[in-house]
Each structure stands twice: as C-alpha cells, then as structure tokens.
Amino acid sequence: MATKTKTKDLDPSTASKQEMNAKRKEVTDFYKVNIPHLKTQLEYEELLRDIEKTRAERLQAQMFIAQTMAEPPTEGEESQMQKDFAEENEAKEAARQIKRTLKRESNGV
C-alpha cells in the first residue's frame, strides 16, 4: 500500500529549488523502497513462465509419443480428417457450380 505524503504536487515553474530537491528525494526513496518487492514479483513471473513452458514441452512430448506409438492407418481405411476434407471440397464444388448472377432475370414482361 502506498504511503501518504505530506508534500503536495509541485509546479516546477513556481517551486523553489529546495522544494524540488525535497520532491526528488521523496520520489527516489519511494522507488528504492519498492525495488525489492518488484524484484520478488519479477522472480515470481519468471517462475510462472518457466512452469508453463515446461508443461507445454511435456504435453508436446506426450503427443509425439502417442503419435509414434499409434498404428498407422490401413490403406483401405480413411481417417476422419480425410473424410471431412473430402466432404468440404464436395460442398465447395457444388456451391461453385450454382449459376449466380448480379441481375435478376425477368419473365420478359
């Protein structure tokens, strides 16, 4: 929690040199007090990053092992992904074959 200061915001054009030096010292002291906390937070964030990276690498390794251990599909058997791809291509081809025009055709009236 921030500490309350008795010094109000100073306008540099109207403040004396002594007031400006006091304000600089106050700000510097504030930063010096908070640096250890920020270093601790940085260390915490780095540890979280490392944990997430390790989890992702482990998951990737598990997926690789599972794919390596899986039986390859037989020649007559299509995978679900191949079936979905073929259905999507058929739907696109059917949509392309539909005649589309920008003008409405009238009945010759």
Q: What are the residues whose beta carbons fall under 8 Å from the beta carbon of 78, sequence distance 6 or more?
A: 86
> Read out DSSP for 11-49?
PTTTS-HHHHHHHHHHHHHHHHHHHHHHHHHHHHHHHHH
Mean pLDDT over 78-91 rounds to 83
List pLDDT tens digits, range 24-39: 999 999 999 999 999 9
Tell me what pLDDT residue 57 has: 97
In this predicted structure, the answer to whether residue 61 has a pLDDT above a threshold of 60 is: yes
Say which amino acid occupies 66: A
Tell me what pLDDT residue 11 has: 73
Instruction: Report whether 11 contacts 20 (CB < 8 A).
Output: no
Distance CA 40, CA 25 (A): 24
- pTM of the prediction? 0.46
Tell me what pLDDT residue 1 has: 47
Say which amino acid occupies 77: E
Tell me what pLDDT residue 72 has: 74
